[in-house]
Amino acid sequence: MPSAPLARALVVVIVAGCAFNLFSFGIRSGFGLFLAPMSAAHGWGREVFSFASAIQNLLWGVGVPFAAAVADRWGSGRVLAFGAVLYGLGVALMPLATEPWMLAATMGVLVGFGLSCASFSIVLSAIGRAVPPERRTWAFGLGTAAGSMGQFLIAPIEQVLLGALGWVDALVAIGAMALVMVPLAGILRGRPAAATGMQQSLGQALREAGAHASYWYLVAGFFVCGFHVAFILTHLPPYLKDIGVPSWVAGWSLALVGLFNIVGSYTAGVLGGTRSKKWLLSGIYLGRAVVITVFVLTPPSTVSVLAFAAAMGLLWLSTVPLTSGLVAVMFGPRYMATLFGIVFLSHQVGAFLGVWLGGRIYDVTGSYDLLWWFGVALGVFAALIHLPIAERSARLAPAAT
Amino acid sequence: MIAAAGTLARPHRLALGIAAGLLALWAASFALLLHAAALPPARSGTVLVLFPPRFGAIEAFAAIAAADGTPVRATWLPNFVLADGPDPGFVGRLRAAGALAAYSPFDLGPALVDGCTGLPPER
């Protein structure tokens, strides 16, 4: 019985998926390093770079469902490889951007669409096909944790490249580094097989999900995740500056979020295999609401900030394996990439609003207080919206819950 | 499925193995990169100096002074110090005084992680 080759193939797929996510997440985590040198070279204000980043995030979110649909239909390897090339090309062409619109076109549009095709939604779907159903959520947690590791491991490489080569050559080198994902995409090739005895088209899958209330509860919940994550990442450092916390704490706080996120993502994946995913998600969002409340009400100090960061880190992308796991439970692996891609689009809309509203309301009120309490309210909303989710195959449950 | 079940019977071991493997690969790549990025001995000016781990701040500053340089500032890693030496051959003198390597200045800190949004937070 050829069990050893099959086992090796399974491990290779999981390793390839983890490595792909590591690069995909990691490369873009260092883009902020290039804000200062690029802006200085061209005399741009901060808004030019930030706008290109915002375009990137929006197109990443908008593009994922379509890229995932192509992957579900034609195979994930080609889509992931195409995404890796587009991603690398976008980065490598950034030095040629002498006008703001050119930066928006390269870093924004090319990288954004590259990210959507090299999306973790497609990677998780490819990993999910390879593992038994009872290990799927664990595998999703592992893949997500690997992406989080990428944010720690790739950014220092980019920093050294920036120092050694200057920003122009460093960006070209980083663009070339993205091509490492192409052979990994080859290992993640394949498309979901149709379920035995049941043929379903993409349109039918979309209609099935659209008619399932639990799916929309998941979409609403993941919107909150995007809002929280983007708001905190973008506005925590200036908030800390406003409340008089030393500047070095801001850097360490974001790093702690990332570090504890590795633990949180993997743990959520492990727990999601044996516990109710919707209750875990509800607990995570309620936990966020509690952590934010305690943080806002506690007199600011280095300890309170770092404790907040560690706690939020545990509750950060731990939502990903559980949310994607629920999509797989409800609708199976056949069109998981597409359906989770739509959920992820909601996440990115939330992220866009989290960043934009954070700045807008701060400009109007002179404070982040309103946003923090809005974040608490959203956390409670998300905790409640997950509870009525029917955590079983949609084909066993009534269409409307 | 039987093969998959066997392989995933100890999932945490597999996860740790994958993490260790990726970390090892990264460490090797990063070491190669640091080696390639090291400045030549003839270089002078403001550089980021890497000293052996046994060097504390005092030893590092003494080595910089011995190389006819001036410490500019320490970093959060005690053996990584920003130094300035205007005379040619500063990097070579630093290495003679015990430095492992010197690099073009870059921000060495935990604030490299910008997270999944990719939006650069204000620093």
pLDDT tens digits along B26-60: 999 999 999 999 999 999 999 999 999 988 888 99
Contact residues on chain A for B76, CB-CB shorter than 8 A? 248
Shortest distance between the Cα of A54 and any Cα of chain B, in A, equals 7
Name which of A77, A326, A72 is nearest A200 in CA terms.
Answer: A72
Question: Would residue B117 count as lying in a domain?
Answer: no
Answer whether B118 sits within 8 Å of A32, measured CB to CB. yes
Whether residues B32 and B90 fall in one domain: no
Calculate the CA A162 to chain-centre distance. 25
Answer whether A57 sits within 8 Å of B14, measured CB to CB. no
Instruction: Provide the pLDDT confidence category of residue B5 given band limits of 50, 70 and 90.
Output: low
Shortest distance between the Cα of B3 and any Cα of chain A, in A, equals 5
Question: Would residue B120 count as lying in a domain?
Answer: no
Return the residue matching tokens 């070279």: A41
Distances (CA, A) of A37 to A274, A390, B78: 48, 50, 27
Distances (CA, A) of A32 to A50, A157, A163, A323, B123: 9, 14, 14, 28, 10
Question: Would residue B99 count as lying in a domain?
Answer: yes
Per the CB < 8 A criterion, the answer to whether B83 and B71 are in contact is yes
Contact residues on chain A for B43, CB-CB shorter than 8 A? none
Interface test with A, best of B1, B82, B112 (most A CBs within 10 A): B112
Question: Would residue B122 count as lying in a domain?
Answer: no
Token digits of residue B47: 């550089």
Whether residues B50 and B33 fall in one domain: no
Contact residues on chain A for B36, CB-CB shorter than 8 A? 164
Whether residues B2 and B33 fall in one domain: yes
Task: Identify the H or E element spanning B71.
Answer: strand B70-74
The answer to ipTM > 0.85 is: no
A34 → chain B, closest CA residue: B120
Answer whether A250 sits within 8 Å of B111, measured CB to CB. yes
Whether residues B2 and B51 fall in one domain: no
Contact residues on chain A for B121, CB-CB shorter than 8 A? 32, 233-238, 250, 254
pLDDT of residue A146: 93
Question: Would residue B60 count as lying in a domain?
Answer: yes
| Closest Cβ–Cβ partner in A156, A163, A251 for B105 | A163
Question: Would residue B76 count as lying in a domain?
Answer: yes
Whether residues B18 and B54 fall in one domain: no
DSSP A307-370: HHHHHHHHTSTTHHHHHHHHHHHHH-STTHHHHHHHHHHHHHHHHHHHHHHHHHHHHHHSSSHH
pLDDT of residue B109: 61
| Closest Cβ–Cβ partner in B3, B26, B112 for A33 | B112
Return the residue matching tokens 């994607």: A324
Whether residues B24 and B79 fall in one domain: no
Task: Give residue B81's domain range.
Answer: 45-111
Answer whether A163 sits within 8 Å of B103, measured CB to CB. yes
Q: To the nearest 10°, the Cα dihedral for A193, A196, A201, A204?
A: -130
Whether residues B106 and B57 fall in one domain: yes
Kindly report the length of chain B: 123
Interface test with B, best of A14, A47, A347, A362 (most B CBs within 10 A): A14
Answer whether A31 sits within 8 Å of B30, measured CB to CB. no
Instruction: Provide the pLDDT confidence category of residue B9 given band limits of 50, 70 and 90.
Output: low
Number of independent structural domains in chain B: 2
| Closest Cβ–Cβ partner in B18, B106, B123 for A18 | B18
The strand pairing partners of B37, in sequence order, are: none
Answer whether A135 sits within 8 Å of B22, measured CB to CB. no
Contact residues on chain A for B108, CB-CB shorter than 8 A? 159
Whether residues B60 and B106 fall in one domain: yes
Whether residues B72 and B99 fall in one domain: yes
Token digits of residue B97: 């005084």
Q: How open is the CA angle A228-A386-A232, to the nearest 5 degrees? A: 5
In this prediction, residues B71-84 reach a mean pLDDT of 87
Answer whether B112 sits within 8 Å of A255, measured CB to CB. yes
Answer whether B33 sits within 8 Å of A163, measured CB to CB. no
Distance of alpha carbon B63 from alpha carbon B90, whole angstroms = 11
Count of CB pairs separated by less than 8 Å, A with B: 180
Whether residues B51 and B107 fall in one domain: yes
| Closest Cβ–Cβ partner in B3, B22, B110 for A3 | B3
pLDDT of residue B112: 45
Question: Would residue B64 count as lying in a domain?
Answer: yes
Whether residues B55 and B105 fall in one domain: yes
Per-position pLDDT tens, chain A of length 401: 335 666 777 889 999 999 999 999 999 888 888 888 888 899 988 788 878 888 888 899 999 999 999 998 889 999 999 999 999 999 999 999 999 999 999 999 999 999 999 998 899 999 988 888 888 999 999 999 999 898 888 888 998 898 889 999 999 999 999 999 999 999 999 877 654 445 788 899 899 999 999 999 999 999 999 999 989 988 888 898 888 888 778 778 888 888 899 999 999 999 999 999 999 999 999 999 999 999 999 999 999 999 999 999 999 999 999 999 999 999 988 888 899 999 999 999 998 888 888 888 888 898 899 999 999 999 999 999 999 999 999 876 444 44
Question: Would residue B69 count as lying in a domain?
Answer: yes
pLDDT of residue B121: 46
Domain CATH for B94: 3.30.70
Whether residues B83 and B64 fall in one domain: yes
pLDDT of residue A186: 94
